[in-house]
Structure 1
Amino acid sequence: MRKASRLFEIIQILKLSRRAVTAAEIAARLEVTVRSIYRDIAALQAMRVPIEGERGLGYILRPGFDLPPLMFDHAEADAILLGLRLLERTGDMALKDAAGRVGDKIAAAVPEPLRKSLMSAPLYAWGGVATAPPGVDMGLIRQAIRDETVLSLRYGDEQGRVSARDIRPIALIYYSDWMTLVAWCDLRQAIRNFRTDRILAVMPSGQRFQGDGERLRQLWVAGWTNQPTSPLGIVKA
């Protein structure tokens, strides 16, 4: 985590806490050393952020300090809250954790009346929770899509046949019970879809397809109209 992001996170933690928070607690949440937190607290105090406390006892943020507020109307706040709660039901554990952090950041940044409305809104995402695929790091896949990195995977089809593939990942589809990875498959020389619960292993190949991801996504979208029974262009791997 970059220092600027870490400083922002520390302010959010202190702003949302109703008691003094120790450097050790902050360090555990941000996955850094306690010494780094001590340096960050000193840096924030030097920037006149009103943090009070001392080592071993904990720190508090004096009332009255506010970052520039985010402004949403009530419908927008409801949309954000429901979207975050829907994310919590996916099998992508990294996104589930991120949804919690996003909620905390928004709660810390909006004005108090909207914060109360946001945190108490009676909106719930019900139904089953997707199971996290055992052999897949979803964060790795999302990063590969962003960075346009080729992935090597072992995949088992619905008949249990296992194949090795090099793929160029371009999109993820989140269903209520599973996730599907859309990718250009070098083996089939076509766009294919891989259920993440059937991926046995995945790792970066060391190759990239930089600049080609958007073209492949457009090719994928164009193929939807050729498959009227499958609006997302689902083709078996």
Structure 2
Amino acid sequence: MRRADRLFQLVQLIRGRRLSTAAWLAERLQVSLRTVYRDVAALQARGVAIEGEAGVGYRFGAGQALPPLMFPRGEAQALVAAVRLAGPRLDPALAAQAEAALARIMAVLPGEVRTAAERLLVYSPDAGQDAQALDRLQALREAADQRRWVAFDYRDESGRASRRRVRPLACLHWGQVWTLAAWCALREDFRSFRLDRIDALQVEDARFRDEPGRTLADLQRRVAAESGGRLA
């Protein structure tokens, strides 16, 4: 592993825990304790806000940004590719946030790395997503995050209409369409709903709690058991 890559991983490991001992870091990075001590000292000397000391543990200072050297060229290109590919398929609010986050990262990259990332020859044209479905996507993903019940009118593949009240669990993209994985109160079971067949969507103030048999993890286990697959 290149030293620059190891330093990047070291920062990420420290950022991800309240306190990381040198022994734990050495085990994860598969290096010696001496190497951990030397790498931490080098990062501190370059202004990385790592607090702590040998024999006690290390933590990353709150509110600190990654220094420019911490993004190798390949990882910067991967970030650009991810935003370019995802943008046309996300709701406008999340797409804008992704662009803003990428801009923040690009602003602190070294010139050579930033140029390589900007010149990446990977693009995604407009995927032909239904504009109304993308608007619903924002409401549903926020409802799932906040554990809020949602109600809507739904038309199935045969055109039959029904009114549903569901626990939104996850939004999934299938190339051309978005679907909502949910636990449906009407059917008392898990159901999948295409966002382009949803109308009169209402996000309720009422919140739901995770209950055995009605969670995303339960749905994932069922999918794995029935088809050997797993919701992404």
Structure 2 residue runs without a partner (length 5+): 1-64
Q: Secondary structure at the match of 2:191?
A: strand
State the 1:151 CA deviation.
0.5
- Deviating runs (4+, > 4 A) in structure 1? 211-215, 229-233
Structure 1 residue runs without a partner (length 5+): 1-65
* Paired letter, 1:150: W
State the 1:212 CA deviation.
4.6
Deviates more, 1:210-219 or 1:102-111: 210-219
Q: Quick check: 1:185 aligned with 2:184? A: yes
State the 1:160 CA deviation.
1.3
Q: Quick check: 1:137 aligned with 2:136? A: yes
Q: Secondary structure at the match of 1:137?
A: helix
Distance of aligned partners of 1:91 and 1:73 in 2 relative to their CA distance in 1, 3 Å threshold: closer
Distance of aligned partners of 1:221 and 1:118 in 2 relative to their CA distance in 1, 3 Å threshold: same
Distance of aligned partners of 1:127 and 1:139 in 2 relative to their CA distance in 1, 3 Å threshold: closer
Distance of aligned partners of 1:229 and 1:160 in 2 relative to their CA distance in 1, 3 Å threshold: farther
Contact between 1:151 and 1:205, CA under 8 Å: does it hold in 2? yes
In structure 2, the residue matched to 1:161 is 160
Superposition map of 1:1-237 within 5 A: 68-69=67-68, 71-90=70-89, 92-125=91-124, 128-134=127-133, 136-212=135-211, 216-228=215-227, 232=231
Q: Which has the higher helix share?
A: 2
Aligned length: 168
Contact between 1:180 and 1:195, CA under 8 Å: does it hold in 2? yes
Distance of aligned partners of 1:214 and 1:110 in 2 relative to their CA distance in 1, 3 Å threshold: farther
- Report the aligned-residue RMSD: 2.8
Distance of aligned partners of 1:136 and 1:212 in 2 relative to their CA distance in 1, 3 Å threshold: farther
State the 1:230 CA deviation.
6.6
Q: TM-score, normalised by structure 2?
A: 0.63
State the 1:213 CA deviation.
9.6
Instruction: Name the CA distance, whole Å, in 2 between partners of 1:214 and 1:124.
Output: 41
Distance of aligned partners of 1:135 and 1:199 in 2 relative to their CA distance in 1, 3 Å threshold: farther
Distance of aligned partners of 1:231 and 1:217 in 2 relative to their CA distance in 1, 3 Å threshold: closer
Instruction: Name the CA distance, whole Å, in 2 between partners of 1:128 and 1:116.
Output: 27
Percent of aligned pairs with the same amino acid: 30
Contact between 1:169 and 1:182, CA under 8 Å: does it hold in 2? yes
Instruction: Name the CA distance, whole Å, in 1 between partners of 2:152 and 2:92.
Output: 20
Distance of aligned partners of 1:121 and 1:217 in 2 relative to their CA distance in 1, 3 Å threshold: same
State the 1:124 CA deviation.
1.9
Distance of aligned partners of 1:230 and 1:154 in 2 relative to their CA distance in 1, 3 Å threshold: farther
